[in-house]
Structure 1
Amino acid sequence: MPEIAIIIPHYNDVVRLERCLCALQENDLSGCEILVVDNASTQSLTKVQEKFPDIRFVTEPEKGAAAARNRGVQETSAPCLMFIDADCVAAPDWVTVGRSVADKADLIGGRVEVFDETPPPRSGAEAFEAVFAFDFRHYIEAQGFSGTGNLITRRDVFEDVGPFRGGVSEDTDWSFRATDKGYQLIYEDRLRVGHPSRQDWPALRTKWRRLTQEQFGLKVQGPKTRLLWVIKALAMPLSAIAHLPKVLRSPKLTTAGDRWRAAVTLIRLRLLRMVWMLRQAVGLDI
């Protein structure tokens, strides 16, 4: 029986999936089973499957990464579960570090390093993501959840907590359900993967629209939480002002142009999120 199941949800991102699998091949995969769960992509996976004959591919017709990850757990047997996304690039020691830290806690999230897929200069979206995207240490240590693009847990924990739920922020929801049951979540900085930044405003807008919809479904359950949602919405412009120093001082932005474009994107996005959240609060679509 394998020790570790590496589960990768995928939908219509074949180029990045191939890059993800190539990076995993640089790891020590002894005792590992790797499963790609495809959400019935319209792009052909034939060439990728031929290139990686030792990796299993299954199709999950229910759309969404939550359903794909659940299917991945069902299709594998290893006691340790490592989750990574198809657009992520694992460090060469990702599996080795995973093995070494798996017994430290029930849920372990790692570092996600943002990288650009386009040449300089950065767009506003890329500059914004360089500063704000995928801060897993903050997610775990301050907010109490881990993203599933770089997550380790045990099969017995997953079976006790239950499957990921679609239609909400599934990683946040699942982390909260796990910690509510008393399971320990920690951050491990040595557990590293890379993730590409969103390249432009439409891609960044799509990401945050989805996150806003998921967070509303997760957090707004009645009049009291709806009122709190309105208050949070009205605070969005103030949060943009509060975060401007972080943009201007970030070592991840090396030019004045990057800092300017990141600042403009920060303000633009927070104002848009305010509008979206207020629309949600009165029952309108965003």
Structure 2
Amino acid sequence: MDHYISVIIPNHNGEGTIRQCLESAFSSQYDGFEVVVVDDGSTDGSVETIKKFPCKLIRLPERSGASMARNTGAQNSTGDILFFLDSDCVINEDTLGKINSAFNDTCLCVTARGQGGNNVIIGGTYSIAPYDKGFFNTFQSVFINYSETKKADNPDYIASHAMAIDAEAFRTSGGFNEDFLPIIEDVEFSHRLKKSGYRLIVIPGIEVGHIFNFSFVRSLGNAFRKSMYWTMYSLKNRDIFSDSGTASVELKINVFTYFLMLLLIVSWGISKQPVFLSLIPVTALANILLNRKLLIAYYRAKGMLFAFLSSIYYLFVYPVPVGLGAVAGMAGYLIKLKTQRH
């Protein structure tokens, strides 16, 4: 059975990426699909670019957030399968075909409640090689690919950069929470549906190439921002220590051991006790062992030199913005909690 797939793309000031995104969608080898783009109050030239493609364009009068844009796209779609795609992502020619095959696979579409494929959410992930080359882009793409596929049969969430769901099931669910944080609304959506009996599955072969355009500063800023909002959500959801995709146990251990080693250095500087220095290599080695699968993924992606540089960045630089973001997230959560109580 060939499903009719609605590709839903929220766009806000995506002038630099929306052309590549739409070109990839309309290069699909799969015939039964439509593209619905919801412009979320853009002020750049992206709308003019979108108008050059044979897609359905819906314009929101003002910026309302990705959740409302996706929900609006779903409400104005005609497909029986919805495929959510970000405006800075590109799909492969066979991506939609793989989604169709996945929903026809009866083994995949048996849920915890024993019902049919309308109660399954199928996800893809970033390709190992990003759309745009460069160290920080590849570092991030490998990190996300590894994190989102290591528990493919039972992931904690499905990311909205490549999320496919039965259209009727989506509408019944109430869609994405429009009164939520600026990001990770897909995590909240996945958790909510998982609790109500939906099965989540990641199919590694469903890949999208992400256009990162990361520099050193942008990479650090992205890590800080995601850590901050994820911490705020996790504290409220009481799953701060869970192994949740890119908010993985490995990353949390990496951040903890980094600041533990800083504490050991400070303790040695104050006390001059050699025991503090002796604990540093032991702590570092334990961290490497616990994160070895990710470090191996970097090696498999681009060889020894890239793995070495990625390991240095991940182990000794990346924990700083993630840790600071977590502290900011805790502060934001406590401030909001105090405000609500008053």
CA shift for structure 1 position 81:
0.5
Contact 2:230 2:329 in 1 (8 A): no
1:234-253 to structure 2, matched below 5 A, reads 236-238=255-257, 241=288, 242-243=290-291, 246-247=294-295, 250-253=299-302
> CA separation in 1, counterparts of 2:31 and 2:240?
49
In structure 2, the CA distance between the partners of 1:198 and 1:49, relative to structure 1 (3 Å rule), is closer
In structure 2, the CA distance between the partners of 1:97 and 1:51, relative to structure 1 (3 Å rule), is same
Runs (5+) with no aligned partner, structure 2: 110-116, 259-286, 336-342
CA shift for structure 1 position 175:
0.8
Counterpart secondary structure, 1:221: helix
Aligned equivalent of 1:56: 56
Which structure has the greater CA radius of gyration? 2
In structure 2, the CA distance between the partners of 1:220 and 1:47, relative to structure 1 (3 Å rule), is same
CA shift for structure 1 position 264:
3.0
In structure 2, the CA distance between the partners of 1:246 and 1:227, relative to structure 1 (3 Å rule), is closer
CA shift for structure 1 position 238:
2.5
> CA separation in 2, counterparts of 1:174 and 1:192?
21
> CA separation in 2, counterparts of 1:159 and 1:194?
28
Q: Are 2:186 and 1:171 aligned?
A: yes
CA shift for structure 1 position 25:
1.4
> CA separation in 1, counterparts of 2:83 and 2:253?
38
CA shift for structure 1 position 220:
1.0
Q: Are 2:170 and 1:151 aligned?
A: no
> CA separation in 1, counterparts of 2:303 and 2:79?
44
- What is the root-mean-square deviation of aligned Cα atoms in Å? 3.1
Contact 1:114 1:195 in 2 (8 A): no
> CA separation in 1, counterparts of 2:132 and 2:206?
25
Counterpart secondary structure, 2:236: coil
Aligned equivalent of 1:221: 236
> CA separation in 2, counterparts of 1:137 and 1:233?
18
1:21-170 to structure 2, matched below 5 A, reads 21-28=22-29, 30-52=31-53, 54-60=54-60, 61-103=62-104, 104=109, 105=117, 106-116=120-130, 122-123=134-135, 125-135=136-146, 136-138=148-150, 140-141=152-153, 143-165=155-177, 166-167=180-181, 169-170=184-185
Match of 1:261 among 286, 302, 309: 309
Moved more, 109-118 or 59-68: 109-118
Residues 254-278 of structure 1, C-alpha deviations (whole Å, 9 max, x = no match): 252x334322321212133223323
> CA separation in 1, counterparts of 2:150 and 2:63?
31
Moved more, 70-79 or 87-96: 70-79
In structure 2, the CA distance between the partners of 1:282 and 1:255, relative to structure 1 (3 Å rule), is same
Counterpart secondary structure, 1:254: helix
Counterpart secondary structure, 2:10: strand
Tell me the TM-score normalized by structure 2. 0.70
Which structure has more relative contact order (CA 8 Å, sep 6+)? It is 1
Contact 1:115 1:197 in 2 (8 A): no
Write the letter of the residue equivalent to 1:162.
Answer: G
